Structure 1
Amino acid sequence: MSTSISETALDLVMPYFPVFPKNPASTDVLDPSVSAILGGSNPILLPGEEWPRCGNCEDNILIPYIQINVSSPQTPEEFRQKVGVEAKPGHTVLLQVFICAEDGTAECFEQRLVGAYDDAFLLRVIQIPPDSANTAAVEATRAELDEDRFFIAPRVISGWTPGNPELLHEAVNNEIEPDDPQYLEHAPAPGLKLLGQPVQGKYYTSILDQCPKPVLREQDHNTRCLLQLGTDSEDGPVFTTGNTWIEQCTVHPEVLSMTIGGDW
């Protein structure tokens, strides 16, 4: 989705970076003391739902990349407001990202996303009713998998720390020079983060070219970075040639688009 750069190029946006406790009290993403689970092999599924699979490579399962408990008080309030989903009584709101990755290179996910195909990942916001996560489907699918099936090592995120406010990335920012002291002080940080500005590049692919929903004449169809996956780091959970992030329409927060950018 496209962004009105002229209106956002010099705006500072606060990012939030994950806190990984050494000895988490819980590993259950539905526990309100947990903000998110990075990786792992326990997707939270809706009642009656099967483990999601890749639509491109022989029905391969999609593995959890991150599952964020939007209802948790450990998740930043600013992020929760921007997701914009109010939980029904007793329900938990989750933002989930699943990707196709048979090893740490996530080749299928990367190649399909660069081609603007949405069949090698699942991005969604769901509400889980109390005690209704479909664990039976998870166990049944896991029993069919090879013992050496690749999953991202699970890590509990207990909260998020505000970082240094960020400017729009130099690759798409025409309002400031990359060697300007202001830009150097506020350049977007790589890695996993909520909000902030994404690390971009000369090339760019997003699943949605623009928000498909109508707006009033005085409204702009701008986008924000809701979540940067940080897959372009050798130290990340998986590696892709370009950085990946989720764009969100600022008018219709339910409209999300997986995006990749870089200098490949």
Structure 2
Amino acid sequence: MKIWAAGACWPVRDGVELDLVAAGWVALTSAQTGHQGHETLRLTELGVHCLAEARRLNRRALSAHDALAARMTRELLLAGRVVWRELSLRAQGQGQGEGEAGAEAQGQHDPDAEFLLAPQTLAAAVPKPQWRVARPDVFSVRNTSVEDYLQPVVHEIKVSRADLLSDLRHAAKRDAYQWLCSECYYVFPVGVAEAAEIPEAFGVWVLHGAVEDGRLELLRPARHKPCKLPFAVWLALAKATPARLEEDPAQRQLASSSEGDTT
């Protein structure tokens, strides 16, 4: 660091500049001198791509979908849950594809005929579980060290009726969400849909008013079922960073208590 600072024509040459140069985001231009003969820093092609990606993420953070997801995340954090957003989790769904109507559904299935089938044929006739990558908008668990008390929950955010109806048409997608959690909820602004339009196994939250200061109302609780997280989900959670409040209420309360303590 002394050698780095000693050769400085640039006014500072501190650790931040060193990190930027080492990452390849900026480059020193010793041939071109600026005011008073100082070296200048210029953005590299990698640095331009980095800024463009940051700008894209900032634009997305301002979208209606992400604003509602952030609001739901905050409510869950205030309730004491551990929350993740935009996870990619490998989940198991049903073998039957969406829109398929099997013989059993049409009343043409004969249970006695199974005894006439060879074991290989019978095994092939049983639908195999299908694996898919599920990306729940908001995934949370209780803040507990007891696995049986985790109660993982998925909240799917929908800000338009078209988006909600598209999701409801994908049975395999809904099966994957339910496989990952004990309870699954749809969250959308009031007026997008009625609770009766949502499958009974799913809970419904609606937002009244603006995202920032509107009221979240639970129209219907989700059907609860026991769920233990598979190892692959545990591994994904360990690699991801959970969401957090900008200011921890507990720490704020401790700070106010210490300020008022004059003893």
When normalised by structure 2's length, the TM-score is 0.26
When normalised by structure 1's length, the TM-score is 0.26
The answer to which structure has the higher helix fraction is 2
